[in-house]
Every structure is written in structure tokens, then in C-alpha cells.
Chain A
Amino acid sequence: MRLIFLAVLASGGSAWGYSSPSLFDTGPSDDTTGGAGGIYYTGSPRFQGQDCSGCHRGERAVSVRVSSVPEDLLRQPYRPGAVYHIEVDLGRDLLGPRTCGDAHPGDACNLDLFALEIDTAAGRPAGRLCPLPFEGDACPEQLGTPTILTRDGTAVIANSLRFGADGQPAYRDGETARDFYWRAPDHDVGPLHVWIGAVDGDGGQSSPDKPSDYDGDATGVFRLLICGPSGCADEAAATEGGCTSTPGPVGWTALLGLVVLGLGRRRPRLARRLVVLVGLVLVSGLASGCAVVKPWQRGTLARRCMALEGDPEEATLEQHVFAYREGAAGAHGGGGGGCGCN
């Protein structure tokens, strides 16, 4: 995924963002604009928390309102196999219902969009999505109005622009909501999470031929919980930052312990120091199990000012200067912040 994301940045084309979220589905080199190669920027764990703020650079936040029929999925558990009509409303529009193109010449294009997926607590897509009403078990069309089903069927994407037969964008005047359909899993797979990456465009320097200017756009990532028929408390706690355990820190601690034991006889002083270090690592690992920072909480950690590693060339020269001025040295670096922001 990292390669694909970087490839998007590195491929040729203009300095504009995606003209349509449908380009999330295309390969990085499928056309001159380049696509995301299957990254939908929903902020979900399967995309390492990547979201719209990777390109859209506004300081303000987006608000969304999600509703569904026949039941409100955010208040009631889903029924296995049931079909729900879901609506996502980016109600508070930064620019307002303005547009560009033939109907509103001279106006900046107001590009609002979202990408949405519904995953299990383990991060796997659950149920089936369709931009149009299901016909039996089948989704009749990948393209809806205005939502689009991704090629792999794991997400729906939508924007406020539609492109006519002439390729010119047109804005859906006054509309802020887009809808789609979701068929719940045929059996209880536990609680589910709705992941939404959303953009509220501000128009900026956009024009009909370049509608996707991203400076000043508001962005947001939303994770909404849908309870399963058997409840949602236990699984939700596991994903809400409760204590977790993985073999990772245990393995590392065991490895360090072996090193300490190996050194203990020959170098007792060094072994004692390593014991302290092992303790710190263990405490750190245990602490992390109860204070997990989720991918969608890492926007600040991804900022340059939060990068512990900083400027590598500066660090090299700085260490060089101090090494010649002082008798003490070492313990520089030692790993980045683990922000998981690629």
C-alpha cells in the first residue's frame, strides 16, 4: 500500500487532486492523472488510516449525518441478510451549494465527496454495497446516482459533481446528501464499523477543467459503530482502546532476556543495564496495550513538527559537531514515532 500511495504522488500529471473519487479505483499509471490503485482513503485500518487529509489541506472539520431505513443502524443492531437504504449527508457545506460549468459560469467548483466502507471489528469488509436498489441478490449497476461502487465492491464513493456526456462537471444544486444500499451479512459477524472519509470543498482555485483543487478544503474521518445481533460491547471495547495483548512485545522481551542471560556471566555491569532497558521496554509495551492510539487519531502525529526523527541531514551534521566538542556521545535516534502515517 505504501508503494501505491507514493506512486500516486510520484506519477506524472498536473498538480491537482483527483478530479473524481472514482480515480481511487484506477491504477497509478492507468491514465495521465494517475489513480490510487484501490486505496479509498476512508481512514480504515486496512488502509493504515489514510484519509482525505493526505491531499486536501483545510484546517476546518467536516460534519456528516448518517441515516438508514428501515431501521436506524446507528441505534439498532443490523439484521442478518437485511437490505438497508443508507444516506450520508455532508450537511454543513463550506462553500454552499455553488457550482461551476455551464449553469454557473465563473464560479469555483464546490467539490464535496466521501468514501465509505463497512468493516468487521477485525477490519474486513462486511456485507455488500450497491449504489442502486438490489435486484434479488445482485447489484444491478456499479454506477449509481451519485454514488459509485468500487470495483472490488468493498466501498462506495460519492462526490458533488457529475460529469455529463461532454465530460463537463455539473453540480447537484442544493444537494448535500448521497445515498446507497447495503445488504447486511447473512449471519452475525459481530459489531461493524462504518468508515467514512469526507471532504467539504471550498472551491479554491478550481475551474471546470480542474475541479479538484484541495487547498482549504475541510476533511474528516468518521468511524460509526453498528452493533451486531449478539451485541457490541465486548468487541467494541477491543477496538476502542482497551487493553490488548499481542505476541510482539513478549517476543521482543524474551529476546532481550536471552541477551541479558547470555551476557550476565561475562559482563555483569552491562547485563544490569540491559535489565533496566528490558524493564523500560516491558513497561512501555504494557502501557501501550492500554493506550492504543488508533489510525484515525494520528492526524497530529503525522505533522512534521511531531516527527522525532526530523531532518536526517541536520541530525548527521549536528551529531558531528557535538562529537568533536564533547566527551559524551551516542543514543541519538533509535526509531521514529510510529505514527503509522506512511
Chain B
Amino acid sequence: MNMQRLFWLGVVSALAASPALGQSRGATKFGVYADDDGTLVLSPAVTVSATPAEGLAVGASYLADIVSASSTDLVSAATKHFEERRDDVSGNLSYTTRGYFTVGGAFDYSHETDYRSYTPSVHVGQEILDRNVTLTAAYGLSLNTVGRSGDPNFSEAMTNHSVTLGASQLLGPDTVLRLTWQGQFARGFQASVYRYASVYRGSFLVQQTPEVLPDARDRHAAAVAVRHHLGGPLYAHVDYRLYRDDWGLTGHTGGTQLFYEITRDVFLRLGERVHWQTGADFYERRYSTRRRYMTSDKELSPLWSSTTGLKLDYAWRSGAGAFLSGLGLNAKVDFIHVDYSEFDPLDQLNAWVGEVGTSVTF
């Protein structure tokens, strides 16, 4: 309930700070994730933002994850089923000068029964060369407290530093390019307290031990994205991301989207995203001896995944002088297939993701 109060305080503050001359936006999103591994997640989200003065923007958002799961991970942890809720509240503030320099900050608070996270962040940006190039930099510090359900005495800390650098460039009247690099540097407890790794002799299970992961993880991801107007109502988007961390995990992620502008207000988007990754150095399908680091996390195993999606987006805008300046409605559906080549409990996963969103602009 406190989270809801915080959120509504943010809503009231954002709207109160917005006099009649500013623009205010409110948006809702409701997401549903369901997979054939027994996990169902409902994710309602609300966002409000306002521009109370020239160059100044404030915003607040609330997101909840209502999880009902009995996945393979949990079975391996001898927990047959659980339901949980995560609440996430955030607020942000930014100011852009007439010279197109932006400075801002945000704060995010996330809470669930066995996990708590505080994440302050700052960002700067500068548009240069007649606004043909946008350079951005951001830093975030995430302070996490890991707990264990039913064990009030268990508490571990994990800190994550995140640095993001980005540059976007107009390549022409119909093409835009973006380069992004992000480094994440995590220190502290990073294992799941509910996950166990198993040691086998031949086909016999001889020992189960709590997952043990390194206390430090440095992650680097670099991405390039290009969007291009193909002509007429067609637009194309292509992106690629290279990921590497010091746990030995390397990932390649590529995506493409095709936009069809049905009318000026409505577009249809068809997308395909493919991800392939190696496993972490210490990941093994079956451990034959006890190791310093052991995991049964399928996200640390070699895998590839495919995500195919369709989105329909409608945005109406009124003319100048109207009190209500815009309305938006969108819906999307994604189908995700994940193939685990070296994860015995599960060789593949199929999931559906559905979302419905609305927005209103005053």
C-alpha cells in the first residue's frame, strides 16, 4: 500500500507542477506473459509525465509484476509453486537548455518479499551539429538487498554500477543510426537462494548444493541500430548487439522490424528478434564433482531464442488549441521460443507475451 501512496504522490506532484501551458501525458500498459513452463506474469504499469516549464520534464511511473510460477527452476529448488508480487515505483526529472543540453536524474524503488532495490541514476545528453548528432551518457547505482522467503535472518547485499554511452546520428533525411555501449559492474551476492546445483556420479544424483556464483560480474554490451524509411508507408529497423561478460558468457542478438504506416495515425509493426549465447565458463550440464562455482540457472546455459511479434499502434492527435491534444491505443503480441541445448530439465520453452496500452496527452 505504501508503494501505491508513493506512486499517487508522484502523480499528483507531476500534474500539480504542470500549469496550463505545459504538456502532460499519462499512459497505461497491461502485459501478460505466459509460458509452457508454468509461469504466468501479469504486469500492469502506469506512467505520468509533464513539462511544467520550458525545458523541464518530470515523470513518475508504477509497475507491478504479479507472478504465478511453478517453473523448472523452482522444482529444482523443491518449491512446487509460488505466487509473488513485485512493485516498482520510479520518478524522474530532466532539464534541457536552449542549447539542447539535457541533464536529468531518476530514482527507482523496487520491492518484493525477498528482494529490495534502490536505484538512483543521472544522465546527460547533448545534441550537436545542427541537432544531427545526439550524445548521451548515463550512470546508475543499484543497491540491492537479497532476502529469502521464510527466513528473516537471511540478508545479502548486491551493488550494481551501470554506465551507458550512446550516440545517434542522422545519416540522411530517411535514415538514423544509433550506437550504444553499456557496462554493468555488479558486486555482491548474485546467486538465487532458491536454486540448487546437482552433482552426479554417472546417472546417480549424489549431492545437491546451493547455487554458488562469483561475487563480481563485469558485463559489456555494445549495440548498433539503424532505422530507414524504405519509401511510401514502409519503414525498416535493424539492430545488433554484442554482449560479453567476465563469466565467459558471450551473446549475439539481432533484430529486424518492418513498419507499415496504414494511415498517418495507425501503423502495423512486424518484428523478429534472434538471440544466441554461450554458457558461462562454470556452467555444466551435469557436475561430476563439486566446483567452486556451480549453477543450474538455465539463463547461464548455452541457448538461442526467437521472438516473433506483431504490434498495432494508433495515435490520434487534435489540432492546435485543443485541451486534449492526443490519444493513443496499442496492442501487441509476441511469441518467444527458447531452445536450451545443455539444460536437462528443460530443452525448450514457448511463451506468449501480450500487451495493451493506452496514452492520453493534455
Partner-B contacts on A (CB < 8 A): 1-4, 6-18, 28-29, 33-34, 36, 45, 48, 54-55, 57, 59, 212, 214, 244, 246, 248-249, 252, 256, 270, 273, 277, 280-281, 284-285, 287-289, 291-295, 297-301, 303-306, 308, 311-314, 316-317, 320-322, 324-340
Contact = CB atoms under 8 A, between A and B. Distances in A.
28 contacts: A6-B21, A10-B21, A11-B20, A17-B319, A244-B130, A273-B183, A277-B165, A293-B132, A293-B172, A300-B229, A303-B229, A305-B229, A308-B176, A312-B47, A325-B299, A326-B275, A326-B303, A327-B277, A329-B184, A329-B243, A330-B182, A331-B182, A331-B222, A331-B243, A332-B180, A334-B136, A334-B164, A335-B167
Nearest to B169: A284
Most chain A C-beta atoms within 10 Å of own C-beta, residue among B133, B134, B241, B275 = B133
A248 B101 CA distance: 11
Nearest to A57: B264
A289 B132 CA distance: 9
B330 to A, nearest CB: 7
Contacts of A249: 128-129, 133, 135
A277 B45 contact: no
Contact of A11 (B47, B218, B259, B321): B321
Sort chain B's interface into a size bin: 35 or more
Interface string B110-128: 0000000000000001111
A59 B232 CA distance: 11
Nearest to B225: A308
Contacts of B357: 311, 313-314
A337 B227 contact: yes
Contacts of B127: 338, 340
Given A306-B235, A321-B353, A3 B45 contact: no
A275 B305 CA distance: 31
B51 A333 contact: no
Interface in B18-62: 20-24, 27-29, 31, 33, 43, 45, 47, 51, 53-55, 61
Given A10-B21, A11-B323, A334-B136, A301 B176 contact: yes
A313 B55 contact: no
Contacts of B243: 328-331
Contacts, number: 307
Given A300-B174, A304-B267, A329-B221, A335 B168 contact: yes
Given A15-B318, A305-B267, A313-B29, A288 B182 contact: no
- Of all A-B residue pairs in the complex, the 7 with the closest CB atoms, nearest first, are A334-B166, A328-B251, A334-B180, A248-B128, A330-B221, A3-B54, A340-B131
Contacts of B206: none
A37 B63 CA distance: 38
Interface in B299-317: 299-300, 303, 305, 311, 313, 315, 317
Contacts of B167: 280-281, 284-285, 334-335
Contacts of A6: 21-23, 51
B221 A328 contact: yes
Contacts of B222: 273, 277, 331
Interface in B49-89: 51, 53-55, 61, 63, 65
B251 A326 contact: yes
A48 B96 CA distance: 15
A317 B167 CA distance: 24
A18 B321 contact: yes
B355 interface: yes
A288 B134 CA distance: 11
Contacts of B96: 2
Nearest to A3: B54
A297 B353 CA distance: 38
B157 interface: no
A31 to B, nearest CB: 10
Given A10-B362, A13-B322, A317 B132 contact: no
Contact of B43 (A292, A306, A320): A320
B355 A317 contact: yes
Contacts of A18: 320-321
B220 interface: yes
Nearest to B278: A327
B187 interface: no
B56 to A, nearest CB: 9
B142 interface: no
